[in-house]
Structure 1
């Protein structure tokens, strides 16, 4: 397998890890402090899948870049879900923070993420 293929697979695994983490975090909101069984199970499962895929991603990507992308895009996605679906507010400072996170992820990738 070529290095380019490994890098693309790494990014695909990383995006899947982010989706699993976002799903787990969203389920955590509905677990009410882990007092509801199924949202709690989904939270644990989401994070387990996310960490397993993140670990696999580290075979083809630097840990700093992978973690920055995982946490940054996950954070941005959770803010979006909270704003659109959960009735959480959005203000200029929050929007600027998310924009800075996304800009940071783009700059990391331009700086040699692979």
Structure 2
């Protein structure tokens, strides 16, 4: 998992815990001031539901990212229509300008430098 994904999950977890604590604290304040009524029950139930919803959101996020990484790994390789790996042709590059040079050229057609560039596969 990348750093951005793990930091997003960390922020989501911190936010959900913060909302949970804030809701419980507000319910506690209502209880202290003698407002034991519908509002206290509402805050207690809503805080638990918020926490459960944030946990489900994090689980869904983790599963979605795992599925995306599997798809990326599968579609990474270049494959021909028959299912075989595509053969890569050696390519030469000019040592001065870095542009691609034809394999049979002795000089770079762009800058005129002698084309003894490296062959890359």
Larger-gyration structure (1/2): 2
> Whose relative contact order is higher, 1 or 2, with alpha carbons under 8 Å and at least 6 apart?
1
- Whether these two folds match at TM > 0.5 is no
- Larger helix proportion of the pair: 1
**Length-normalised TM-score, structure 2:** 0.38
**Length-normalised TM-score, structure 1:** 0.40
